[in-house]
Amino acid sequence: MVLGYISNETRRFYTYVSNRVEKIRSVTSPAQWRYISTEFNPADVATRCNSVGLLENVRRWLQPPHDAFHIDVEAASNQSYPLICPNDDMEIRASVLKTKTKSATPLSTRFKKFSSWTSLVRAFSLLRHVGKSFHSSSDTCKGWHNCSQHRSVENLKTTETFILITVQQEAYTEEVNSLSCGRPISTSSALHPLCPYLDSDGLLRVGGRLSKAEQTLGVDAVHPVILPK
């Protein structure tokens, strides 16, 4: 066990053992240490109860066996002493695995590469149309191609909603998740005074008591879409 402590390079010990191992390794190297059986180990005479009458033990203490001092250096250097049951040893600190995750680049950062809202919507409308065409049974729109179908009013409107939802989910993740699950948002949220809600398309909008004015003013005027600055 002690040889495993001295040779250890991977695990950490608690203070008591750590200080002693550090002291031993400050004046010796692990390669200088090896196992010697009790039969040839004179140190065992001092660590065990022995009667003075056992002259053989005393003689072994004063005149250690020849094998105790003549070590096969090559064999000793190739010998390893692993820790014994490191997971159960009370002197060994438990290993703690710490991982760090890196989030993928938000999709909204790519939106900034477009010079205008119109070019952004048209580009993503084409991309969405091409993506869906790979799963389409149509022969006219299949795979990578360029056509005018993505410029229809319906496709452009759907793409606008997709872009707005993407931005909202990245900027207001907790609020969107809470409302999606039917829970009220936290009172500490900056959006709480706006009484936000999710409409039928999944857009986060400003709430309020002017719902009856929607027919006159329109939903976008009464309940505008919430976007970060």
Tell me whether residue 91 is in a domain: no
Q: Are 156 and 124 in contact (CB under 8 A)?
A: no
**Least confident interval from 2-6, 157-161, 186-190:** 2-6
Domain annotation covers residue 199: yes
Domain membership of residue 99 (yes or no) is: no
Q: Which of 58, 77, 96 is the last residue of a domain?
A: 77
What is the domain count for the chain? 2
The domain boundary residue, chosen from 19, 46, 77 = 77
**Amino acid letter at 159?**
T
| Assessment of whether the complete model's pTM goes beyond 0.75 | no
Task: Tell me what pLDDT residue 151 has.
Answer: 85
User: In this predicted structure, what is the pLDDT of residue 50?
Assistant: 64
Residue 44 inside a domain? The answer is: yes
Residue 100 lies in a domain: no
pLDDT digits (tens, 9 = 90+) for 184-208: 999 999 999 999 999 999 999 998 7
The residue that leads in pLDDT, 11 or 212, is 11
Is 98 among the domain residues? no
Residue 222 pLDDT: 87
Q: What is the pLDDT of residues 165-191, one digit of tens each?
A: 999 999 999 999 999 999 999 999 999
Q: How far apart are CA 147 and CA 140, in angstroms?
A: 9
Spatial distance between the Cα atoms of 141 and 83, rounded to a whole number of angstroms: 65
Q: What are phi and psi of 165, to 5 degrees?
A: -65, -40
Higher pLDDT, 155 or 33: 155
- The CA-based angle 1-31-60, given to 5 degrees, is 70
Q: Which residues contact 57 (CB under 8 A, 6 or more apart)?
A: 45, 50
Determine the structural domain holding residue 67 and report its residue range.
2-77
- Kindly report, residue by residue over 128-150, the tens digit of the pLDDT: 888 888 887 776 777 777 788 88
Contact between 82 and 10 (Cβ < 8 Å): no
In a domain, 189, yes or no: yes
Would you say residue 70 lies in a domain? Answer: yes
Q: Which of 31, 62, 77 delimits the end of a domain?
A: 77
pLDDT for res 225: 93
